[in-house]
Amino acid sequence: MNFVGGNTGIDTWKKVSFLLVFVFNNFFSQQTVTGRITDDSGESLSSVTIINMSTDQKTYSNSMGMFFIEAVPNDELRFVKADFRRVSAIVPANGFSAQLLVVLIPIPKEIEEIKVVKKPTGDLATDSRLASKVDKGEIVQQAVGLPQPVGKMREKPAEVKQVLIPILLGSLDVQGAYDLISGKARRQKRQYRYDDLQEHIAWVRNRVDNEYFTKAGIPEERISEFIQYSFEAKPQVRTYVKAKNLSGVLLRLEEVMPVYLERLKQKK
């Protein structure tokens, strides 16, 4: 019994010794990490939250950007502040040999677009430049290098030549022949011409402010009519639209304006 009791006492002493060694090592390995937090320009940052991710202990930097927090080797210290990127640091085995310097980088903010409204001067050459709008979609496509669609995704109308030539060679395009006879091909061409016209008018209107036209004497409700008239009176206008050349469009519009305005006077 005494022998067993002696062994029990030894086991208990071993456990206590192990616990004391663990506490001793943990106590002496724990350290106070000190440091200073600044932004990327060197300015001290106050009210930064410092978190020991292992112990969930938190503290904050003071007005000088200084902080103090308890940690042991391999603890992760995390530094968090609104509008700044989060930073982490791992406590090394031998601790930080000097005061820890932490630099937080601001998160870039999107600046709201500022629109500067300039009044027309009365000089069409100058006003045309002021009136032109920025096409953000085109700028993004050019910057990113997005591929542009080739042509329009729509059914091609049947052509007389494309139907007759196969007949002469001994074959028949039944669908093409039906489209020609029924008038479907003719209706398609008419619809496509109308769609293209409206698209080209919209292209100009989306890029030129209404004030550019009204300042020249064209009523706002007649702007689309004027653009269509310019396509007919000076086909070069539409050629520039197809080439997406806004400067060329505005230059030719200025040439057509006096004629159109004279027509308006005559109608009145």
Domains and CATH numbers, the chain: 2-104 (2.60.40.1120), 124-267 (no CATH)
Between CA 144 and CA 167 the distance in angstroms is: 48
Q: Smallest Cα–Cα separation from 250: which of 122, 125, 137?
A: 125
Q: With 90 as the cut, is the pLDDT of residue 268 above it?
A: no
Q: Smallest Cα–Cα separation from 33: which of 101, 114, 135, 112?
A: 101
C-alpha R_g of the chain: 39
Mean pLDDT along residues 132-157: 55
Between CA 122 and CA 116 the distance in angstroms is: 18
Bridging pattern class, strands 76-80 and 66-71: unpaired
Instruction: Give the three-state DSSP class for 111.
Output: coil
What DSSP state is assigned to residue 137?
A: H
Q: With 80 as the cut, is the pLDDT of residue 141 above it?
A: no
Residue of higher predicted confidence among 6 and 223: 223
Confidence band, pLDDT 50/70/90 cuts, at residue 161: confident
Q: With 60 as the cut, is the pLDDT of residue 26 above it?
A: no
What's the pTM value of the predicted model, to 2 decimals?
0.45
What is the percentage of the chain residues whose pLDDT exceeds 70?
71
Mean pLDDT along residues 231-238: 92
Per-residue confidence (pLDDT) for residue 174, from 0 to 100: 74
Residue of higher predicted confidence among 27 and 96: 96
Residue of higher predicted confidence among 49 and 110: 49
Mean pLDDT along residues 109-129: 52
Per-residue confidence (pLDDT) for residue 18, from 0 to 100: 44
Between CA 39 and CA 221 the distance in angstroms is: 55
Read out DSSP for 54-100? TTTEEEE--TTSEEEEEE-TTPEEEEE-TTB--EEEEPPTT--SS-E
Mean pLDDT along residues 173-197: 82
Instruction: Give the three-state DSSP class for 103.
Output: strand
Q: Smallest Cα–Cα separation from 49: which of 77, 21, 70?
A: 77
| Mean pLDDT, all residues of the chain | 77
Per-residue confidence (pLDDT) for residue 31, from 0 to 100: 84
